[in-house]
Chains A and B, each alone.
Chain A
Amino acid sequence: MLVAKVLVKKPTSQQLTLEGHQMSLATTQSIAEIRARNKELIEEVLKVYPEKTAKRRAKHLNVHQAGKSDCGVKSNIKSIPGVMTIRGCAYAGSKGVVWGPIKDMVHISHGPVGCGQYSWGSRRNYYVGTTGIDSFVTLQFTSDFQEKDIVFGGDKKLVKILDEIQELFPLNNGITIQSECPIGLIGDDIEAVSRAKSKEYGGKTIVPVRCEGFRGVSQSLGHHIANDAVRDWIFDQLESDGKPKFELTPYDVAIIGDYNIGGDAWSSRILLEEMGLRVIAQWSGDGSLAELEATPKAKLNILHCYRSMNYISRHMEEKFGIPWCEYNFFGPSKIAESLRKIAGYFDDKIKEGAERVIEKYQPLVNAVIAKYRPRLEGKTVMLYVGGLRPRHVIGAYEDLGMEVIGTGYEFGHNDDYQRTAQHYVKDSTLIYDDVNGYEFERFVEKLQPDLVGSGIKEKYIFQKMGVPFRQMHSWDYSGPYHGYDGFAIFARDMDLAINSPVWKKTKAPWKEASRAKLLAAE
């Protein structure tokens, strides 16, 4: 039986929170000590593996060294069988992340029933619309493959499904076909079906996506495939002289890579508009087909989740000459830096607008920090998330006086680790790529952070161990966390997680008492 015992927690946080600033374990040690401890920890963790696996996993674990151009780990490599990777699949990256939030299109989970069922409504991509009539984000459309569809192929069924969608959901503005594993294995030609039905429906947008779950090593390839599908089946179908249905302005931008989880894109959009820009498209949270189609007319693409949408941003730069810039709307330091960076692409009017926005929100920022920083100062955090968050949220924690002592990406590539090393993590931070259940539990057990930020599969493990936790994919059903409005919520949520009185109660008093007695007797 595997039982992760939590050692006696340092007398931190819970006890001393409101009284003063508890120095974390990390800050009382020298960088060299921390580095040595973390290296030792990695060595210790690797001991559990068979030799071949230990060799492979060793490349994904490291202690960051300041000044290096990346984090010194291999990434975007196949997960090892049987280790309990936390990763998902290409379908999750395409349907679950990129395409699913496009609200006025119907997204068919094409294959057996499960994939669509497990991803139904769980990402909280908020949208405004009449669900089931002109918006379809929280519906589960599936071809529910049966054995005969596997044996005889599913193309005929797909034809019928497209007809049935047209009849029963006549206000859909387009349809995507999100391939599940069997599609690519049984040789279905979903592209031919899409072309034929699109023609039959007078040029209707029908997008086949080859995001079968066995492709690639994680969600990441699904993002790429989904980006390519936008390029091939939306951009390449646009008429060259096609004009959007609105007048263009010199200040038109598109938000790329914000999935509007808990309303993130909205609390970002409001800042961009306040500084004088006009957001003509959201990719893809609360997005629509018309917005995707209008994006080639933008003056600047601003990119939040680099990992999932850099591909289409690069494509638009090459094909339409639209520059793109990365930004980070977590926490006031990064928000201000980003607003200025974005404004740098525009004239003085926008630059002044950025300053005005920063100034406007400064009192809110001050109040949030005044209220929450004393409760959170010196607290340590370990992260393990996807996309941009393993680095992007670090600034927000630091704005609250907290310190990230370990981080890693579920499906990052080397360019993510470069950005992390160059702009975000501190010397001797523990880095773990494609971490698995075993490693993550050992790391947390040994480093004893005050907070772990990861996903639903990890949440209850660490809470059982008595470690406060926030889901950092779904914002634990809270949010938004982006923008200034979001920062207030972020601060509140980290406080309520870390300083919940429940964490003082995890040990039964009679067991605590017996331990104290033992200590006294010594």
Chain B
Amino acid sequence: MAQSAEHVLDHLELFRGPEYQQMLAKKKIFENPRDPAEVERIKEWTKTAEYREKNFAREALAVNPAKACQPLGAVFASVGFEGTLPFVHGSQGCVAYYRSHLSRHFKEPSSCVSSSMTEDAAVFGGLNNMIDGLANSYNMYKPKMIAVSTTCMAEVIGDDLNAFIKTSKEKGSVPADFDVPFAHTPAFVGSHVTGYDNALKGILEHFWDGKAGTAPKLVRKQNGAINIIGGFDGYTVGNLREIKRILALMGIQHTILADNSEVFDTPTDGEFRMYDGGTTLEDAANAVHAKATISMQQWCTEKTLPFVAQHGQDVVSFNYPVGLSATDDLIVALSRISGKEIPDQLARERGRLVDAIADSSAHIHGKKFAIYGDPDLCYGLAAFLLELGAEPTHVLSTNGNKAWHEKMQVLLASSPFGQGCQAYPGRDLWHMRSLLFTEPVDFLIGNTYGKYLERDTGTPLIRIGFPIFDRHHHHRSPLWGYQGGLNVLVKILDKIFDEIDNKTNVLGKTDYSFDIIR
């Protein structure tokens, strides 16, 4: 018996011992296992160009896709408003999934309710679920606003949110003037970034365009403020705080729309804050008067930004600006739009990032990377790698569309380090597996699921993306701004140095190259 009270062995060690190993070996005879030689042969075959070709010929099956569905993005956006309870109309299991998914990434509570539709609602529609659900949520959780979105069930049966919410108000579920913005967010269209876009647009439309016919539309009176939209972002806590710091440094009057940087980073001090921080409803309404709106992620705001532009604002979008040039562009744009000077502090921060790159670029220069993730994140990271002299060899985005592909290819073609690099829209991580076997790279950048690729292909994983379940707290540090660029640089460098050490740490074999100074 290996177990002891003195040194308790859990799953990490317990099953490695001889007792369990023998037990597991004996279990095999009941499993009707495949011939080990055959397993080996197929394993090797999956590494070949032939397999890659078959793999890329897939038309219907997705294996390990790197995207989630719309309502997740809707929930993420909704909690960015003050006192807002996301309410997802449809089956209840979906909401359990969104809450778990967000909690596993942020290590934070994630509050959201469902209208709990079942078979009868599938037949008769979910109106009663909406009527009861809004009344219950309103009474129990005392929200300032309830933001409604939909699961695919409600979408397939064609429930009409606008009419349902109106009827619910007539039935007294919530007061007539209580804010219940809504967005249809079918899971079979787009991905979580689409859901973010739809939900945010729904909320702005509600406040700006007359609250579903119950109030006059707002008349825009332009002021000097700038609205910022972060987009769906696993680093929202660190990033939005960094953006606010920069805006404050520049003295720019601003509104962060869907500011969920507080609700996903509440203190442990004896109180559970179901709601915390967020864009106030007043600010959300007044955001119509801003001079301009900046989207940090183009593909998270494909509908929202044109909607804002229609209201007369200047709109600018970025693609998850990471690193030197992208941050330069952001800062210059902020200055141009606001007419504010760029303070010397930012020039100094920029200089520090340049300094760090100069100190370390020898280790990154010419290294090949594979990147996967949401379309904007992929673009931002690829652009940063190019300016570091690295080669973003494979850039894959399951939820990237044709326009993303074209824009990526233009980016790659613009740099000598992008030659021979390819962007892959609509592909999944099983495609990436083939790419890593047939065209190996030095490092992989992606979310937690990249660890399966790291294991299978031996490509070291640098964890940047969403979700990150198996490392803690990185979402609290920014990737945006010059400081964020430095954070990304350090993440990459740490992995590069760890890899060099891992390859040179065999006593008696590689006592050379195991250097103390790098």
A and B: bona fide binding partners: yes
- Does chain B have a CB within 8 A of A167? yes
Q: Which residues of B contact A (CB under 8 A)?
A: 1-6, 8-11, 14-15, 19-20, 23-24, 27, 29-34, 38-39, 42-43, 46, 51, 54-55, 58-65, 67-69, 71-72, 83, 87, 90-94, 96-101, 103-104, 107-119, 121-122, 129-130, 132-137, 139-142, 151-153, 156-157, 186-189, 191, 266-275, 430, 433, 449, 452, 456, 469
Determine if A160 is an interface residue (Cβ-Cβ < 8 Å).
yes
Given that A82-B133, A111-B152, A165-B61 are known contacts, is A459 also in contact with B103, CB under 8 Å in the complex? yes
Whether B266 lies near A367 (C-beta < 8 A) is: no
In the complex the two chains form, is A144's CB within 8 Å of B62's CB?
yes
A53 to B187 Cα, complex, angstroms: 30
| Given A143-B61, A507-B269, A182-B115 contact (CB < 8 Å) | no
A214 within 8 A of B: yes
Residue from the set B129, B140, B188 with the largest chain A CB neighbour count within 10 Å: B188
Chain B CB within 8 A of A21 CB: no
Q: Which of B9, B42, B113 contacts A83 (CB 8 A)?
A: B113
Name which residue of chain A comes closest to B104, CB basis: A456
Q: With a CB–CB cut-off of 8 A, which chain B residues contact A437?
A: 111, 141
**Set of chain B residues within 8 Å of A303, measured between Cβ atoms:** none
Task: Point out the residue from B20, B151, B271 that lies within 8 Å of A266, measured CB to CB.
Answer: B20
Cross-chain contact of B63 among A111, A140, A289, A441 (Cβ < 8 A): A140
**Contact at A288–B61, with CB atoms within 8 Å?**
no
Whether the pair B136, A82 counts as a contact (CB closer than 8 A) is yes
Known interface pairs A78-B118, A81-B132, A81-B136; A465-B65 also in contact (CB < 8 Å)? no
Find out whether the CB atom of A113 lies under 8 angstroms from the CB atom of B54.
Answer: no
How many inter-chain contacts with C-beta < 8 Å in the A-B complex? 377
CB <8 Å contact, B30 and A281: yes
Q: Interface majority SS on A: helix, strand, loop or mixed?
A: mixed
B272→A3 contact, CB < 8 A: yes
A113 touches B29 (CB 8 A): no
Picked from B62, B91, B97, B113, the residue with its CB within 8 Å of the CB of A84 is B113
Are B68 and A113 in contact, CB atoms less than 8 angstroms apart? Answer: yes
- Chain B neighbourhood of A122, CB < 8 A: 100, 104, 469
Q: Which residues of B contact A12 (CB under 8 A)?
A: none
**Residues 420-437 of chain A: 1 if any B CB is under 8 Å from the residue's CB, otherwise 0?**
000000000000000011
A280 contact set on B, CB distance < 8 A: 30
Known contacts: A113-B69, A114-B187, A215-B118. The answer to whether A142 contacts B136 by CB under 8 A is no
Q: B65 contacts A140, CB within 8 Å? A: yes
Are A438 and B270 touching (Cβ within 8 A)?
Answer: no
A132-B46, A461-B109 are known contacts. Are A168 and B58 too (CB-CB below 8 A)?
Answer: yes
13 contacts between A and B (CB under 8 A): A2-B141, A3-B272, A81-B132, A89-B96, A111-B188, A115-B97, A132-B456, A147-B186, A182-B156, A364-B1, A368-B5, A464-B109, A485-B1
Q: Which of B23, B51, B61 touches A161 (beta carbons < 8 Å)?
A: B61
Please tell me if the beta carbons of A143 and B135 are within 8 angstroms of each other in the complex.
no
8 Å CB interface, A14-58 against B: 48-50, 52-53
The verdict on A63 contacting chain B, using a C-beta distance below 8 Å, is no
**Smallest beta-carbon distance B390→chain A, Å:** 28
| Cβ B14 vs Cβ A263 within 8 A | yes
Name the CB-closest residue of A to B470: A477
Contacts of A217 in B (CB 8 A): 118
- Contact check, A89 vs B91: say whether CB atoms are below 8 A apart: yes
Decide if B156 touches A81 in the complex (CB within 8 Å): no
